Structure 1
Amino acid sequence: MDREKFSLFLQNTANSPFWVLVQKEIRDHITSIRFNILMVIILLTCIGSLYSALTSIRDVASNIDSSKELFLYLKIFTISGENGALPPFITFISLLGPLLGIAMGFDAINSEKNNKTLLRIMSQPIPRDYLILAKFTGSLFVIAFLVLMLGALIFSLGILIIGIPPTFEEFIRVFVYLMMIVLYIAFWLALSILFSILFKQAATSALSGIAIWLFFSVFYSIIVNLIVTAAMPEDLFQANQTQAMNQEKMTMYMRLSPNYLISEITTVLLNPGFRTLGPVTMEQATGAIPSPLGISESLTIIWPQVFGILALCTVCFLIAYAIFMRQEIRS
């Protein structure tokens, strides 16, 4: 009887208007040429960097009996190929991930308005918030599936080329890292959906999202360096005294950028020997044992960064939600 109730609950849930809209969004993304082109680009670039990294560490793995000490599967993400021919996986995913989120959300709402389908959808007995929630949820499902598929591909290629299975520690670290990448892309997805609500033309919302991405990727670090450098005293002795303070200021300003937050998360998760974020004094370094941290200790270090990205994503989506719920829909 309980099994029948559970199956009936699943059937009712799958047939609810919200999940019908989510399924429609997933189907639209999978069948769109734009998404398939981006998926092929991401797959080809990531497979190239992964294969180059795997071949460069294959000789190291052949001389050991276990990858537990070297964390070979974590090095796959962080090392480049021979002679630096291809950047590492983390470089590609940090560059192409935001573009994927922007591409999947920049015309989420304004395309419905321009095609005169938004009024038709809202004329159905469907709550208005179901539409924007389904847009975000369906796109997030597709993003998570693509990222997890890349993770499965990494482990498959690693086992075939290296010949050593990953340890449980490596598996957990890679899984958590992939979930952080999904959260990072979700921020850009929420931002692009916000722009699709604010701007009528899809090209304007797409250019706005790309402009924000370029600002944080290229110009933000330059601006922060100029501000902190200009605030430093000219006297060399005073500069030495305030060097740690200026470094803390620079780190604080840089942590306003989602790109810097994901870089810190990546560093701690994929480098178990990384014990802290920010400047370390000689007194703090004295007596420290150079041993790798466990996954729980690494998560303790990065939890402010994780909640920072989550907060940015939540704020962007809540602003988009509030504006969409207050907008007047006209034919």
Structure 2
Amino acid sequence: MKSSDFLFKSSASSPFTVMMRKEMADHIRSWRFIVLLILIFLTFVASMYVSLANIKSATGNAGDPDHVFLYLKLLTTTDNSIPPFHVFLSFLAPLLGISLGFDAINAEQNSGTLTRLMAQPIYRDNVLLAKFASALVLIGALFLMLALWMVGGGLLLTGVRMEPQELLRILGFVALTILYVAFWLSLSIVLSIRFRGASTSALSAIGIWLFFTVFYQIVLNLAIRSVLPDPTGLSQDQILGYNELIMDLLRIAPNQLYMDATTTMLMPSVRSLGPMTMEQMAGAIPSPLPFIDSVMVVWPQVSGLIAATVACFALSYFLFMRREIRS
């Protein structure tokens, strides 16, 4: 069914609502979304199986401040055979966002449906917002469903009641994952507007993802060794400044922001994401942080992801509004 025919099939609905339904239906029926959905589901099942097999040893360690949070342990416990689920998502979530957005605009233009769609009395921003919002709704439903499965499975298998703080932290983890996917989705939409070919935009998005995931840390280490002095022989304050500079440079990468935020959210004992002096650690009681304090710790990472997502979406809006569609 063509976009323009689908758009006004129901006169009772607004164009934006109908376009969202059409985009969601297209995503659900696409094989690439189904394949990634199966991959994420299998990863989730494997991570939960390993966590449940090692949950007794994880919760039985009284020296661990987080041992009382059983449901958080389901997301972080592993026997080193496979990474925890949130580490898997740092690799898989960008692919999900890229797959939903790399051909959002150029595929419509190459097939000729975008010209017919713009001939209707609708605004351009409705088209862009519908493509972005429909993908976010599907992503939110997917990760919320996985979180509910995890909570329900843990309740059935262990019979342990969930603490309110655990629920808040799991919901915070879901929100962070949605925000992380939203960044890659908005970036892939920018590339789909910038490049006419869908394969070019897909390869560009995957190249950016590979750079930040694999090569950025290698390039940064080489640059630091050649530019910054050797930390041997420096004072404690100089070493702290050295480490803080390295951490700040690493946090340019979106996957590092996501890992810092999710680690703090799922491990309440994490009190700082940077180096600390012995004076700062003196007198600290090894107890879990309240949820609000953990949010304050990761707020710079969260605000960085939000700013990057908004910047990419604003750039896509600017490019799309100035684009000549009839060509």
TM-score of the alignment, normalized to the shorter chain, above 0.5: yes
Pair 1:139 & 2:135 matched: yes
Verify the 8 A CA contact 1:100 1:185 in the aligned structure 2. yes
Which one-letter code corresponds to 2:36 in the other structure?
L
Q: Which residue does the alignment assign to 2:165?
A: 169
Which one-letter code corresponds to 2:310 in the other structure?
T
Q: CA deviation at 1:239?
A: 7.0
Pair 1:210 & 2:206 matched: yes
Verify the 8 A CA contact 1:173 1:270 in the aligned structure 2. yes
In the superposition, relative to structure 1, how do residues 228 and 242 fare at CA in structure 2: closer, same or farther (>3 Å)? farther
Q: Which residue does the alignment assign to 1:22?
A: 20
Q: Which residue does the alignment assign to 1:200?
A: 196
Q: Matches of residues 249-264 of structure 1 in structure 2 within 5 Å?
A: 249-264=245-260
Residues of 1 paired with 2:11 and 2:156: CA distance?
A: 41
Q: Which residue does the alignment assign to 2:53?
A: 55
1:24-80 deviation digits (Å, cap 9, x = unpaired): 11111111121111101110111111111112114666999xx98521111111122
Pair 1:305 & 2:312 matched: no
Q: Which residue does the alignment assign to 1:295?
A: 291
Secondary structure class of the residue paired with 1:151: helix
Match of 1:77 among 75, 94, 100: 75
Secondary structure class of the residue paired with 1:237: coil
Residues of 2 paired with 1:241 and 1:175: CA distance?
A: 38
Q: Matches of residues 76-115 of structure 1 in structure 2 within 5 Å?
A: 76-81=74-79, 84-115=80-111
Q: Which residue does the alignment assign to 2:119?
A: 123
Q: Which residue does the alignment assign to 1:7?
A: none
Q: Which residue does the alignment assign to 1:322?
A: 318
Gaps of 5+ in 2: 1-9
Residues of 2 paired with 1:235 and 1:254: CA distance?
A: 18
1:57-111 deviation digits (Å, cap 9, x = unpaired): 14666999xx985211111111224xx3222111211111100000000000000
Verify the 8 A CA contact 1:13 1:19 in the aligned structure 2. no
Verify the 8 A CA contact 1:251 1:278 in the aligned structure 2. yes
Residues of 2 paired with 1:14 and 1:217: CA distance?
A: 46
Match of 2:30 among 29, 32, 41: 32
In the superposition, relative to structure 1, how do residues 14 and 79 fare at CA in structure 2: closer, same or farther (>3 Å)? farther
Which one-letter code corresponds to 1:38 in the other structure?
L
In the superposition, relative to structure 1, how do residues 157 and 213 fare at CA in structure 2: closer, same or farther (>3 Å)? same
Secondary structure class of the residue paired with 2:233: helix
1:269-327 deviation digits (Å, cap 9, x = unpaired): 11111111211001111111111110011111111111100000000010011000000
Q: CA deviation at 1:235?
A: 7.8
TM-score norm. by structure 2 comes to 0.91
Pair 1:279 & 2:284 matched: no
Verify the 8 A CA contact 1:258 1:309 in the aligned structure 2. yes
Residues of 2 paired with 1:276 and 1:320: CA distance?
A: 35
In the superposition, relative to structure 1, how do residues 221 and 14 fare at CA in structure 2: closer, same or farther (>3 Å)? farther
Gaps of 5+ in 1: 1-11
In the superposition, relative to structure 1, how do residues 116 and 134 fare at CA in structure 2: closer, same or farther (>3 Å)? same
Residues of 2 paired with 1:134 and 1:98: CA distance?
A: 20
